[in-house]
Each structure stands twice: as C-alpha cells, then as structure tokens.
Structure 1
Amino acid sequence: MKKACLLYLLLIGLSACGGKKTDAVSLNGEIKGLGSDTLYLYGADRMYDRMDTLIVEKDKFSATLTVDTLVSTILLFSDGTEYPLYLNKGDKIQIKGSNAELSALQINGNVPNTELTTFNQELKGLGTPSVKALEEKAENFIKNHPSSLASIYLLDKYFVQALQPDIERIKMLADGMTGELKDRPYMQALLSQIDEDEKVAVGKTAPYFRLRNVEGKEITRSTLKDQYLLIQFWASWDTISREQNAMFRRIYKKEQKNKDFTLIGVSLDLDKDKWKETIKTDTLKWEQTCDFAGWNGEVVKQFAIQKLPANLLLSPTGKIEGKDLNEKAIEKKVKEIQEEKEKKEAAKKKNKR
C-alpha cells in the first residue's frame, strides 16, 4: 500500500516534460482487450524523473520518448497492474499481449526487455509454481544475468518484497551483480532497505520506542515489560489491514486475560478523528497508538515497515521473535509461551520438595 501512496504522489507531482532532447525512443504497443484506456509511464528511480501519459485506442498505443541513457521505468495500467519497461536512446520498443494476462507481456526492443519477457514466458509455462520454485527460477536468472536491469527487478519482487525476506540470500545475490548495476539508484535504494531490514530481523533486539495511546498516555516498551508483545501496524485508509483487524479481534478475545501476552496497535493514520472513529467502528479494544506521521513516523522507520498490514512479536526481553505472522502462527506461539510457563512452574514446585 505504501507503493500506492508513492505512486499517487508521482501522478500529482511529475510532469511530462523531459530535459535535454536526445535520440528518440519509439514505443508501440497492442494489448488485446485493453480497448480505450489511459496508461502511465513513470521512472523506477531518479534517472527517469517524469510521468508520461499513453492514450490507448482500440487496444493500441504509441509514443515517442526521450532518454539520455538506459533507464528503468514502470508501465502502469488502470487496474493498478505495474510492469517494468526498459528504455534506451534509439530503441524501438514493441509491446504485445493480452489484457487478461498483463503479467506476461511480450516486450522487445533491447536486451533487458527481451530477457525479462523470456523469463515471464517461462514462468507462464510452469502453470502454478510454488513460491520456492519461483524463487529458484528468479535466483538462477539473477546469477546468470549479473549485469541485467531485469535482475534488480526480480531481486526486489521475489526476495526483498517476500513475506519473510531472507537477508543473507538477498545479500548473496546482490554481491554477485556487477558494479555498474550496484551503482544504479534503484539498486542503491534496495540495498539501503536491506540494511534497515537487517537491523530488525528475527533474533535481533527491538529498538526502544515511545508512542501515545487514545487517551494521550505515553506507551513504551518498558511499559509492557514481562510480556510477549504483538505489535500490529495498520491504518484506517488501508483496506487490507482493516480486513485483518478481524483476525486480531479473535486473538484479543482469546488472550485478553493472558498476563504473559499482550497486543498493541500502531496506526499510520494522519487524521486523528478518522483514527478514533475507525477504532470504534472496527471494535479495536486492545491498546491503540499513533503519532500521526504516517510513513514518516519514528516507530515505522525504527522497525523498517515497508508495507501494510505488518506485525512483529517481541519477547519480554525485547527480542524479535517473529514478523508478519498469520493467525495460526500467532496461536502456535501463544501456546508455546503457555507451555514454557507451565514447565517453569512445574520445575519450581519440584525444587521445593
């Protein structure tokens, strides 16, 4: 959802005018079933710092663009689908496909477009591959194409944006890329994100945090000491996290009297009234906090939150025990906490005899 917010700002703020004129890029596309529509083309990093509008009529569209060097861009469709597109001066880009399969377009005109097209066509032939199969396929591509811009995109999509990112695997794949690729702004941004994620990886000690609840009372990690703490990141404007509130309501109902486990909500809202209204509407009875700074909030940055919804489980000592856990994993962890407590109590009774 964060990407959607950033994209909205891009749509508002970027102009369609470029800088110095260079050799033109010819772009022609035909996507069956697209009909009449409007597409947008925007830069994946600052090397293409503008927004271009592509008008589609009877499934077809075309444009003449200007770039100074090979750049990574994103083709945005009206349904929210994003597809990477690489442009270089003098290129003649051809795009073909079906509106029913926007994730498998055929794009030619330069090497990275052709490489990514081949990769996606091979995926299409696999039917419904597992997450593991997709990751292995992407890893093989990255290792075999250490200087391709498509490798950066695949690293981001299949590893950095994974539900549980494997930091060491990401670093290994990034290390194998050429220096020229690592110097790309897009890649530098990914590496910076990876560094931040590593600081709050499972097993690391959580940073100290301070927030205020609905009543304005300060809530800190020290306030909630001696308990396992499940931190829920959400926002009233985020549809998916609003839907996930049902899961947390069930967890809270079961565990509200559990002295060893507690739940706290951290909202990325900007509007205080809307936040309070949603807490009431969604019946969020557990502790709720917000600093009204959205994605710029201190706690959001401390825990390297990149998307919503998100959650983290902290031990009583502040160690990060899990990230983005589903309901089954949370219930399993709560059960383990209770079993561990019972073992300790049984051991104490035995020692007293």
Structure 2
Amino acid sequence: MKKVCLLCLLLIGLFACGGGKSEFVSLSGEIKGLGNDTLYLYGMDRMYDRVDTLVVKEDKFSATLAVDTLVSVVLLFSDGTEYPLFLDKGNRIRIAGSDAALFALQVDGNAANVELTAFNQELKTLEVPSAKELEERAEGFIKSHSASLAGVYLLDKYFVQTLKPDLKHIKTLAEGMIGELKDRPYMRELLSRIDEEEKAEIGKTAPFFRLRNAEGKEITRSSLKDQYLLVHFWASWDSISRRENAMFRRIYKKEQKNKDFTLLGISLDWEKDRWKEAIKADTLKWEQVCDFAGWNGEVVKQFAIRKLPANLLLSPNGKIEGKDLDEKAIERKLKDIREENEKKEVAKKVTARNRNRR
C-alpha cells in the first residue's frame, strides 16, 4: 500500500513539472569572428520590458531567459547592429552565423525565427535591392504569413519607420493580419495612431480645442473663426522649434495687419515660468497658449502631433489645409489668400454696380 502511494506522489510530481511548457527560453549561439564580447537583449515593446546581458566567449554565448508568452526582442551587437529574435516559453533558440554578415544570421527554435531567417537569406541573394524592391518583398511576406510575428517586425521596419509612412497602406497590411497579432500592444498602438492621424489629415475638419493664454484667458478655435489660422506647435525645451520661432516672427511682422490671417502658438511645456520666459525671450507677440501637459495634452493627441516643430494651417471654416509647411509654402498660401479675397471684392463691386443699374 505504501509503495502504491509513493508511486502516486511521484507521478503527481512529474505531471506538475512537465504538464505544461517551461516558462523559460534556452538561448544559445555561435557567431564566427565575434570573439569575446558582450551582447544585449531588449524588448521591442512592453511585453518584454527589460534588458539582458549576454557574455560572448570565443564566439559562443548562452542564456536561460524567463518569458510567459511569445515576445519580440532585439539582439544588440557592440557595433550597433540590431537583429530581431522571437522567444516563447519552452523554446530552444539557436543562433549561428558570421560576424561579417550579422544581418543574415541563421535562427531557429520557433516558426517566426525560421520564417524571418528564410526572408533574410532571400534578401542576401539580391545584389543591390532598391527600397521599392525591399518593400515589395516585405509586403509579400506579410500577406503570405498573416499570423507570423515576423510580419509585424517587417511591417514596422519597411513601412512604419520611414520618412513619410503611407498610413493607409500600413493600415491595409495591418488589418490583413490574423490571430492574436492585432491584440499585441504594438499593433493596438499602431492602429490607434493611424486612426488619430486619419482624423487630422488635410481636408478634415479640425477638432475643437480650448486652451488658456499667458494671461489666463480662454482661447478656442471658434474665437479665431473667419480667419486662416496658422497653428505652431513648439516648446521652450525644444531647441529646433525655438529656432523656428524666427520664421514665425517674420510671418507675423508681414501679416499682423491682415484681417484674414492670424497665428497661434501651442506649447508643449510643463512649467509655466519657463514657458513665459521663452515667450518673452523669443519675442512671440501673437497669441500663445499651453495646457502644461506636454506630449499628453489633448490638443497634441487631437492633431496627431508626433514631433516638434510642427504646424497646421486651418481655413476659416475649420478645415485643415496644410501641415508642416515651410516659409515659402506659407508665403505662397498667403499670396493665394490675398488674391482670392481680391477676386471676391471685385465680384462684390460688380454685383453692387449691376444692382444699382436696375
């Protein structure tokens, strides 16, 4: 009887230990030519919010890492090269390659690593691929691997992280992904960002806003109606937008008597005193407002402001007519506004003359 009970306890212990996946990842690698070095592993999003150190000795390294779900991480080499890896609990990840070709490592251990390795090996066969060809290859992968986490990485690398991302195209590719990919923090944030950007596209109606100026007076979009409004986003702590204030001073000097045009500065400051000091130091004589919420401000989110400096041109009826205009583009627009108003004045006079003749 005692022997039977002891056997039961052993079986229960075995099932408890081996009934599910281990919550650890075994990572090992050998990269020829790496020698003795130190590598770093960090997460691509908050699902892996830490940095791990990997010590390399004679080209080899290994580590046991704790994870509780499939995560995207970056392997950072001392020369600045970054290589993506995908880790899930219970995986045995093996990395092989050469220090001379860190962009084309051989990685296995799960489907996402194998798929990305195949994609990179395919790129390796191309002589000098153009940006367009790389995008086409990445798009083909994303569409044919709609449930792969490697597709999310390629979406970010080849479509999101560009100078002028095509948000509509990105959204189309993202919406084609299936499974749990859309529930990942990166994808939720990306789609949310695209929704915000679409609401602030040229041609859309500008959202209503209410902010206070340096004297505490409430300024709203409706209080500036019937004029073209050039909104300049800046901050006292941002040296680039501070330098750009010189451009707006020139525009203000030329247009301060223009009844059809006005300027508005919206600051991303947190401290009222520093904001006021900057207004005085930079001689900003036009209306200035701030909610002291920095990047978390409601207006910043409404207009999808992602960088400083930034500007928007709003029409008298509240439509967004331009974004991030340079000085020449602003001057051209102001010239168009004057010519348009002159035509309206001529039309009014002709109408009035014709009415008087009747």
Shared topology, TM-score over 0.5? yes
Q: Do residues 324 (structure 1) and 308 (structure 2) align? A: no
| Separation in 1, partners of 2:82, 2:283 | 35
Percentage of pairs with the same residue: 62
- Map of 1:24 onto structure 2: 26
Q: Which runs of 5+ in 2 are unaligned?
A: 1-21, 108-112, 354-358
Write out per-residue CA displacement over residues 276-333 of structure 1, whole angstroms, 9 at most, x where no aligned residue: 2333333433322111111221211222323333222211111122223333333332
Specify the code of the residue in structure 2 equivalent to 1:174.
Answer: A
| Separation in 1, partners of 2:33, 2:265 | 44
SS class of match (1:155): helix
- Map of 1:190 onto structure 2: 190
- Map of 1:343 onto structure 2: 343
Q: Do residues 281 (structure 1) and 281 (structure 2) align? A: yes
Specify the code of the residue in structure 2 equivalent to 1:183.
Answer: D
- Map of 1:303 onto structure 2: 303
CA-based RMSD of the aligned residues comes to 3.9
Specify the code of the residue in structure 2 equivalent to 1:262.
Answer: T
TM-fit CA distance, 1:153: 3.4
| Separation in 2, partners of 1:235, 1:218 | 20
Q: Do residues 54 (structure 1) and 53 (structure 2) align? A: yes
Specify the code of the residue in structure 2 equivalent to 1:238.
Answer: D
Structure number with larger C-alpha Rg: 2
Write out per-residue CA displacement over residues 54-79 of structure 1, whole angstroms, 9 at most, x where no aligned residue: 37889989562333443112457899
Q: Do residues 93 (structure 1) and 92 (structure 2) align? A: no
| Separation in 1, partners of 2:103, 2:150 | 14
Specify the code of the residue in structure 2 equivalent to 1:52.
Answer: V
| Separation in 2, partners of 1:256, 1:31 | 65
Write out per-residue CA displacement over residues 104-162 of structure 1, whole angstroms, 9 at most, x where no aligned residue: 844441235426645876899247x5xx6775565444334433334323434554566
CA contact (8 A) 2:42 2:51 kept: yes
Q: 1:259 to 1:176 in 2, by over 3 A?
A: same
| Separation in 2, partners of 1:125, 1:196 | 36
TM-fit CA distance, 1:345: 1.6
Q: 1:246 to 1:194 in 2, by over 3 A?
A: same
**Matched residues, number:** 324
- Map of 1:45 onto structure 2: 46
CA contact (8 A) 1:233 1:310 kept: yes
- Map of 2:222 onto structure 1: 222
What are the residue-to-residue correspondences of 1:228-247 with 2, within 5 Å?
A: 228-247=228-247
CA contact (8 A) 1:160 1:194 kept: no
SS class of match (1:332): helix
Specify the code of the residue in structure 2 equivalent to 1:41.
Answer: Y
CA contact (8 A) 1:74 1:83 kept: yes
| Separation in 1, partners of 2:148, 2:54 | 29
Of structures 1 and 2, the one with the larger relative CO (CA 8 A, separation 6+) is 1
SS class of match (1:352): helix
- Map of 1:172 onto structure 2: 172
CA contact (8 A) 2:203 2:319 kept: yes
| Separation in 2, partners of 1:283, 1:133 | 49
Q: 1:314 to 1:126 in 2, by over 3 A?
A: same
CA contact (8 A) 1:25 1:67 kept: no
| Separation in 1, partners of 2:242, 2:58 | 36
CA contact (8 A) 1:97 1:106 kept: no
| Separation in 1, partners of 2:230, 2:33 | 46
| Separation in 1, partners of 2:126, 2:216 | 51
Specify the code of the residue in structure 1 equivalent to 2:155.
Answer: L
Specify the code of the residue in structure 2 equivalent to 1:338.
Answer: R
Q: 1:297 to 1:76 in 2, by over 3 A?
A: farther
TM-fit CA distance, 1:220: 0.7
Q: TM-score, normalised by structure 1?
A: 0.74
CA contact (8 A) 1:24 1:66 kept: no
TM-fit CA distance, 1:187: 1.1
What are the residue-to-residue correspondences of 1:78-227 with 2, within 5 Å?
A: 84-88=84-88, 89-93=91-95, 105-109=103-107, 110-111=113-114, 113-114=116-117, 117=120, 125-126=128-129, 129=131, 138-160=138-160, 165-227=165-227
TM-fit CA distance, 1:197: 2.1
Q: TM-score, normalised by structure 2?
A: 0.73
SS class of match (2:194): helix
Q: 1:90 to 1:193 in 2, by over 3 A?
A: same
TM-fit CA distance, 1:210: 0.7
Write out per-residue CA displacement over residues 174-233 of structure 1, whole angstroms, 9 at most, x where no aligned residue: 222223322323212211222222222222211110111122221110121111112222
TM-fit CA distance, 1:51: 1.2
Q: Which runs of 5+ in 1 are unaligned?
A: 1-19
| Separation in 1, partners of 2:270, 2:58 | 40
| Separation in 1, partners of 2:338, 2:265 | 23
| Separation in 1, partners of 2:179, 2:41 | 31
